[in-house]
Amino acid sequence: MTTIKKPASHDPFTRVCIELIEDEHSIYSITANEDHCARYAERSIGIVTALVPHIGYDNAGRIAALALDNGLGVAELVRREGLLSAEPLAAILSPSTMTTNL
């Protein structure tokens, strides 16, 4: 474990960060629940932004409103509306596509 020199700062945020880094039972032992994270991503209305170039601004806005009103996923609504088929939709909304094609 790396020893970190504590700053003379009395900033509470800095102190907490240092304690988290030094504590071996802290953030380094956390494991993400990938299924849970995927469900959050699928239900996020924000992913509609990635669809704008493919389905248009008006359709994207309408899908976002429907998703918000009905609690349905964006991808599900896009498929239901026939705006994109499953394969291109999955490619557009894949986490790797949305995080590398910036």
Task: Round to whole Å and give the CA distance between 22 and 79.
Answer: 48
Q: Is the pTM of this model over 0.85?
A: no
Which pLDDT value is given to residue 65? 96
95 versus 49: which is more confidently predicted? 49
Which pLDDT value is given to residue 23? 62
Which pLDDT value is given to residue 101? 59
- Of the pLDDT bands very low, low, confident and very high (cuts 50, 70, 90), residue 41 is confident
- Of the pLDDT bands very low, low, confident and very high (cuts 50, 70, 90), residue 9 is low
Sign of the alpha-carbon dihedral angle for 91, 92, 95, 99: positive
Which pLDDT value is given to residue 86? 93
42 versus 102: which is more confidently predicted? 42
Q: Which CATH code, of 3.40.50, 1.10.40, 1.10.3470, 3.30.70, is assigned to 34-100?
A: 1.10.40
Closest CA relative to residue 18, chosen from 90, 9, 97, 54: 9
